[in-house]
Chains A and B, each alone.
Chain A
C-alpha cells in the first residue's frame, strides 16, 4: 500500500513536471514579436553587430522588430578585434551611444555596473514580471547562463552566439586500416581522438610527414603536419593554452569564496604554477608538429590548413568553424571526412556573446524587447541554419539537426553538448567569469601565451610573468584582491 502510494505520487509528480515543462517549452517556442507589448518610447535604438556574416542573418530579424514596434534600429557592424575597446569606452564614458551592447562572457563582471540586469528590466517591462525571464532562461545551457552572469549570479544578457573549443580531425584518416595499424604498432594503443594531451602529441608526431611519404596509402604531394595551432598574438592563443591548463586540473587563478559562497579574492596556488608551467611546455612541444605559420595564426589559418589537407588534427578549434571546414581543397583526395570530439580532457573555453541593455541607453524598454527577440527560439533557429552556433539548448537539441546527412554542417552538436555538460561544474570557479578586470587580463594573456609559444619567454619565465602581471592588473582594475 505504502509502496503503491509512493509510485502513484511519483507518477503524478512526473506527469506534472512533463506538463509544466511542456507548457513552458511551447510557450517559449511560441514567443514571437506578437508577444511584445506596445512600447510608447519610440526613441531609435543602436545595436552593434559583429562583422563576418552574422549581420546578414540578424538584420532581417531587426527589421521585423522595427516593423512590429515602430522603433527604428541603427545597426553598427564592427570587427571583434575592436569591439571591446569601442564598447568599453562608450559604456564607461556613459555616452549613450549603444542601447544594447554585445558582451563576451568574460567581460560581464567588468561591465555589470553599466548594464541593466535582465530581472531588473523584466520587473519593469514584462507583463508577467521576473518570472517570465526566469522561465525563458531555462532554455539556455546552464553553463552558458552562468557565463553570462556576474560572480554573484546576476544575469545581464540574452546569449545568442557561443563558441566551444573542440577537437576536429580527419575522420577518414583516423578510420583508415593502414593508418590505424601503423599507429598501433608504433605507440601500442588504438588510434582514436585524443582523450589526453599526451595522446594528442603522439598523433601529431605520427601524422607529421614529408612530401613523398604516404597517407592512406597515397603518396603525399606536399608536407603534412599533425596539427595547426592558433599561436599568433590574437585573442585565441590563451583559449588553447587554457584548455590544456583546465584539463590538467589547474587554474589561471582560482576564486576563493567564504563558507557562504561570497567571493573573497583570487589565489594562484603552487600547484597552479606547476600546472601552468607544464601547460606551456605541452603547448611549445606540440608546436614542433604544427604547420608553419601557426605562430601568426588564429582560427582562419587553422581552418584553411585543415580544408587544404595540410593537417590532420585541429585539436582545439571553435565549433563555429566546423561547418566551414569541409570545403576540401583539390589536394585532399576523395573520401575526406571531418570528425569531431571533445578537446583532450574536455575542459576548453566555452564562451558566448550576449546582448545586454546599457544603462545609459535612451530606450531601455525597446532595447529589452529587441534583446529578448534576438534570444528567441525563432532567431536562434535561423542562426543555426545560417551556420552559426546558438546558445539555446532547445534549438541545438532539435532532432531535425541530428540527421546523418547534416554531419558536415552540424556534426559539432554532440561534441558541444558533451563539453557543455562536462564543463558546467567547473565554470563557476574560472577566473574568466569572476574577474572584473578580465578585458585587460585577456590582452595580457594574449601577449604572454604568444611570447611563450614563440620562445621569447621560457615556460618558467611565462609563469613568473603571469603571476606578476596578473597581480598588477587584477589589483589595479579588478574589484577583488589577489590573495597570498
Chain B
C-alpha cells in the first residue's frame, strides 16, 4: 500500500518507471474518487438539464414550429418578445404576485408561527390542521376554490350574502381575479412559511432570551432585537424558495381562469406559446428569459441569505 507521498513521487517518475496499476485502483484512489463519484450526477445533469438548456438556447435563435425544420432567425425571437405587450403584462403580473404573496406569507407565517410556538391545549391538532392546505393537490385546490368562489352558488358568496354583502365575481372581474389567484396561492403555501418559522423558533438558543428577560427587555424589544435577527436566515430561505416557485406559478390558473380576467402570469404565457401554439422558438426564448430573471433574482437573494447566515453565526 502506497502512502500519499509515494504516490506523488511516482507521478513525477518517467512513464517507463511508473508502477502500472489496474484502472479500478486508479479510479478509486484518493485523487480520482471524488470525480468518479460525481460522474452519475454530472451525467444526470448533462442529460436532463444542460442538454435541454443548450437545446433551448439553440432553438431560441430559430423559427421552430415543428412542422418544418428550424430556420435561423438570429435574435428575432428576443426582439419580438421584448416588444410584446402580452409578455410585459405577464411579467408585471408575476412580479406583483411575488411581492404580494411573499410579503403576506412572511408576515402572516411569522405571526402564526409565534402563536403556535406557545404551549396550549390541542396544539398538535392545530398544527396538524395548519398543514392541510399543503397536502391538497394543486389542480384539486384550484377546482375547489373555483366552486367555493362561484358568484351565485359558491359558499363564499352565499356567506357574504348572509351578512348583507352583494355577490363578488372573484374569478371573472379583471381587477379582482389576480388577487383571488394570489389568495389561493397564499392559502396553499402559508403553512410552508409557518412551519419553517416554527422550526426555527423552536431551535433558537434559550439563554439569550432568558438574559433579555432578566434584563427587563420588553417583548417587542426582544422580538425586534433578538428573534427577528436570528430568524433572518430562515426568512431568506422562505423568500428565496417562494420567489422561485412563484415565478413558475401556473397551477391555480389551470382549474380557474386559464389566464383569463387579467391573470395570465409569465409561466402560463410560456406554456400557452410553447404547448398550445407550439411555437417552440418563441416558447424557448420566453423560457430562457424567465430562467435568466429567476437566476438574477435568485442570485441576489442567495447573496442575502449567505450574508444573513454569516451575521447569525
Question: B276 to chain A: which residues have CB within 8 Å?
Answer: 84-85, 440, 443
Interface residue A305 (Cβ < 8 Å from any Cβ of B) = yes
Contact between chains at B278 and A293 (CB < 8 Å): no
Q: Tally chain A residues at the interface, Cβ within 8 Å.
A: 35
Which 9 pairs from chain A and chain B are nearest by CB?
A233-B260, A296-B172, A295-B172, A293-B151, A292-B151, A292-B169, A296-B171, A440-B277, A92-B66
Interface residue A279 (Cβ < 8 Å from any Cβ of B) = no
Would you give the 0/1 interface string for A262-299, flagging 1 where the beta carbon is closer than 8 Å to chain B? 00000000000000000000000000000111111100
Interface residue B156 (Cβ < 8 Å from any Cβ of A) = no
Q: Considering the chains assembled together, what is the distance between the CA atoms of A234 and B260 in angstroms?
A: 8
Q: Considering the chains assembled together, what is the distance between the CA atoms of A444 and B272 in angstroms?
A: 10
Interface residue A304 (Cβ < 8 Å from any Cβ of B) = yes
Q: Considering the chains assembled together, what is the distance between the CA atoms of A304 and B153 in angstroms?
A: 9
Within 8 A of A (CB), among B145-202: 150-153, 167, 169, 171-174, 177
Interface residue A249 (Cβ < 8 Å from any Cβ of B) = no
Contact between chains at B169 and A296 (CB < 8 Å): yes
Q: Which of B172, B174, B272 contacts A232 (CB 8 A)?
A: B172
Contact between chains at B67 and A293 (CB < 8 Å): no
Question: A473 to chain B: which residues have CB within 8 Å?
Answer: 277
Interface residue A176 (Cβ < 8 Å from any Cβ of B) = no
Interface residue A455 (Cβ < 8 Å from any Cβ of B) = yes
Contact between chains at B151 and A233 (CB < 8 Å): no
Question: A337 to chain B: which residues have CB within 8 Å?
Answer: none
Name the residue on A nearest B272 (C-beta).
Answer: A443
Contact between chains at B257 and A232 (CB < 8 Å): yes
Distance from B167 Cβ to chain A, minimum over Cβ atoms (Å): 6
Q: Considering the chains assembled together, what is the distance between the CA atoms of A301 and B278 in angstroms?
A: 29
Q: Chain A residues in contact with chain B, CB under 8 A?
A: 81, 84-85, 88-89, 92-93, 222, 232-234, 291-297, 301, 304-305, 308, 310, 439-440, 443-444, 447, 450, 454-456, 473, 476-477
Chain B CB count within 10 A is highest, among A81, A88, A293, A310, for A293
Question: B96 to chain A: which residues have CB within 8 Å?
Answer: none
Q: List 16 A-B contacts (CB under 8 A).
A: A85-B278, A88-B278, A92-B278, A233-B257, A233-B259, A233-B261, A291-B152, A292-B152, A295-B260, A295-B261, A296-B169, A297-B172, A310-B152, A440-B277, A454-B261, A477-B65
Question: B279 to chain A: which residues have CB within 8 Å?
Answer: 440, 476
Distance from A221 Cβ to chain B, minimum over Cβ atoms (Å): 12
Distance from A336 Cβ to chain B, minimum over Cβ atoms (Å): 17
Distance from A456 Cβ to chain B, minimum over Cβ atoms (Å): 7
Distance from A440 Cβ to chain B, minimum over Cβ atoms (Å): 5
Q: Which of A234, A297, A456, A477 contacts B174 (CB 8 A)?
A: A456
Judged by DSSP, the binding face of B is: loop
Would you give the 0/1 interface string for B278-305, flagging 1 where the beta carbon is closer than 8 Å to chain A? 1100000000000000000000000000
Name the residue on A nearest B86 (C-beta).
Answer: A447
Q: Which of A92, A234, A455 contacts B67 (CB 8 A)?
A: A92
Within 8 A of A (CB), among B223-278: 256-262, 272, 275-278
Question: B259 to chain A: which residues have CB within 8 Å?
Answer: 233, 447
Distance from B68 Cβ to chain A, minimum over Cβ atoms (Å): 10
Distance from B5 Cβ to chain A, minimum over Cβ atoms (Å): 58
Q: Considering the chains assembled together, what is the distance between the CA atoms of A444 and B269 in angstroms?
A: 12
Distance from B282 Cβ to chain A, minimum over Cβ atoms (Å): 10
Q: Considering the chains assembled together, what is the distance between the CA atoms of A308 and B169 in angstroms?
A: 17
Q: Considering the chains assembled together, what is the distance between the CA atoms of A81 and B173 in angstroms?
A: 23
Distance from B252 Cβ to chain A, minimum over Cβ atoms (Å): 13
Question: A232 to chain B: which residues have CB within 8 Å?
Answer: 172, 257-258, 260-261
Question: B262 to chain A: which residues have CB within 8 Å?
Answer: 454, 456
Known contacts A84-B276, A440-B278; A296 and B260 CB within 8 A of each other: yes
Known contacts A92-B66, A310-B152; A455 and B174 CB within 8 A of each other: yes
Distance from B262 Cβ to chain A, minimum over Cβ atoms (Å): 7
Contact between chains at A450 and B150 (CB < 8 Å): no
Contact between chains at A443 and B260 (CB < 8 Å): no
Interface residue B63 (Cβ < 8 Å from any Cβ of A) = yes
Distance from B72 Cβ to chain A, minimum over Cβ atoms (Å): 15
Having A293-B151, A454-B174, one finds 15 other A-B pairs with CB under 8 Å, namely A93-B66, A232-B172, A232-B257, A233-B259, A234-B258, A291-B152, A292-B151, A292-B167, A293-B150, A295-B260, A296-B169, A296-B257, A443-B276, A473-B277, A476-B279
Chain A CB count within 10 A is highest, among B63, B151, B153, for B151
Question: A447 to chain B: which residues have CB within 8 Å?
Answer: 259
Question: A450 to chain B: which residues have CB within 8 Å?
Answer: 260-261
Q: Considering the chains assembled together, what is the distance between the CA atoms of A277 and B196 in angstroms?
A: 54
Question: B67 to chain A: which residues have CB within 8 Å?
Answer: 92, 477
Distance from B113 Cβ to chain A, minimum over Cβ atoms (Å): 35
Distance from B131 Cβ to chain A, minimum over Cβ atoms (Å): 30
Q: Considering the chains assembled together, what is the distance between the CA atoms of A369 and B259 in angstroms?
A: 40
Within 8 A of A (CB), among B59-74: 63, 65-67
Contact between chains at A305 and B152 (CB < 8 Å): yes
Distance from A75 Cβ to chain B, minimum over Cβ atoms (Å): 22
Question: A443 to chain B: which residues have CB within 8 Å?
Answer: 272, 276-277
Chain B CB count within 10 A is highest, among A89, A292, A301, A440, for A292
Distance from A447 Cβ to chain B, minimum over Cβ atoms (Å): 8
Name the residue on B nearest A293 (C-beta).
Answer: B151
Question: A294 to chain B: which residues have CB within 8 Å?
Answer: 172
Name the residue on A nearest B274 (C-beta).
Answer: A85
Name the residue on B nearest A473 (C-beta).
Answer: B277
